[in-house]
Amino acid sequence: MNLRPYEYAFLALFGAGMYYSDVRGPNWPLWLFCGSLLAAIPVLILRCAEEWRQLPNRLLFFLLLAPWLAIFAFFGNPTFGYKDTPSLFGWMFDVYTSPLNDEKHGLLIPFVVLVLYWWKRKDLVARPAGLWSPAIGLVILGLLFHLVGYLIQQQRLSVIGFLLGVYGLTGLVWGKHWLKASAFPFFLLLFCMPVGELATELTLPLRIMVAQIVAMVSHLGLAPDVIREGTQLMDSQHTFAYEVAPACSGIRSIVALLALTTIYGFISFKAPWKRGLMMASAIPLAILGNVVRLCMTIMVAEMFGQAAGKSCETNFGFITFAVAIGCVMLIGRWLEKGEPRSGPPPAQTPAAPATVS
């Protein structure tokens, strides 16, 4: 697939939006990122020009979408103590880019969803589209979610309400088939939901689990004198000591890998149980990746001291995802056995005519 000139310009804008998203304080990184996200929509439309022309009510959709966006831009965030902005989108961006959180993957999800809309473009217009009034129920439900979230100061309910409303608007202008065909890409937007302090209850049990597994593996010969105290790992002479921090518990890895395995499962498989198995594999694989990384850290610390182990822990965090993604590919190869192959059937050689003697 050859890129067009305006797509190169979009990629440059996207790269700048992601690169400068870590700048804290001023509002221009938010505007830069929002600009790249808005620019992705016309890029998608131009890439799907043939399918876009088949859709009716295009102007109506944007006329309905504009006030819906305005509600959440100007009346989306009720808690000004944490982020002084009335915008739900500003609050989400602040959570994604906060150094206290590991949730920057939320910035990538909308772009992934737009790519999947391009991938399903033929399915989306496979049937005639048109107005479908029952979808207004989703918009009303989304508005109720937002009102409740605003009153009780729970922005996550407002995020759900915003997504439900946008999904309902697409069904309202383009029909029931559109809702069904776009359910999978739109579902992925739930991974934009900031986890934040909701993960606190899961963090400690996962930290203890990772520490227990690492200590057990170490006792098999990697470092027999490793001692575990809660979430701390140390040797008997205290020449090295590590705390299994919240970042090592796998919360970030689980969310990111769950998004990856969901996309992989829905694209590659049709059987529900295979899709479910791919999604369920994210949790143990995220923990496995963290265990491998910490075991390697302890091995380096055992051989070269705590400073070397600390350097390994800091600079080799990618091992968590490398191990997990490798296992995802192996599970995918195993599940692909028995899957029908797409594409035309192989050509058959015509039989030679019989000869009559």
- Quick: pLDDT tens for 174-224: 999 999 999 989 989 988 888 766 666 666 777 788 888 888 888 887 777
Mean per-residue pLDDT over the chain, rounded: 84
Contact 14, 36 (CB under 8 A): yes
Q: What local confidence, expressed as pLDDT, does residue 103 receive? A: 80
pLDDT recorded at residue 347:
47
Tell me how far apart the alpha carbons of residues 290 and 321 are, in angstroms, rounded to a whole number.
9
Listed in sequence order, the residues at least 6 apart from 305 whose beta carbon sits closer than 8 Å to its beta carbon are 239, 240
Write the pLDDT tens digit of every residue in 22-39: 888 788 999 999 999 999
d(CA 184, CA 335): 20
What are the E-state strand segments in the chain? 227-229, 232-234, 241-243
Domain boundaries, the chain: 55-194, 199-336
Q: Which residues pair with 233 in a beta bridge?
A: 228, 242
pLDDT category of residue 74 using cuts at 50, 70 and 90 = very high
The confidence score (pLDDT) of residue 18 equals 93
Q: pTM of the predicted model, to two decimals?
A: 0.80
pLDDT at 234: 79
Q: Does the pLDDT of residue 130 top 70, yes or no? A: yes
Bigger pLDDT: 3 vs 63: 63
Q: What is the pLDDT of residue 191?
A: 87
What is the pLDDT, as a whole number, of residue 344? Answer: 43
Mean of pLDDT values over 170-174: 96
**Percent of the chain surpassing pLDDT 90:** 41
pLDDT in tens, 217-253: 888 877 777 888 877 887 777 777 777 765 555 556 6
Whole-number pLDDT of residue 300 = 84
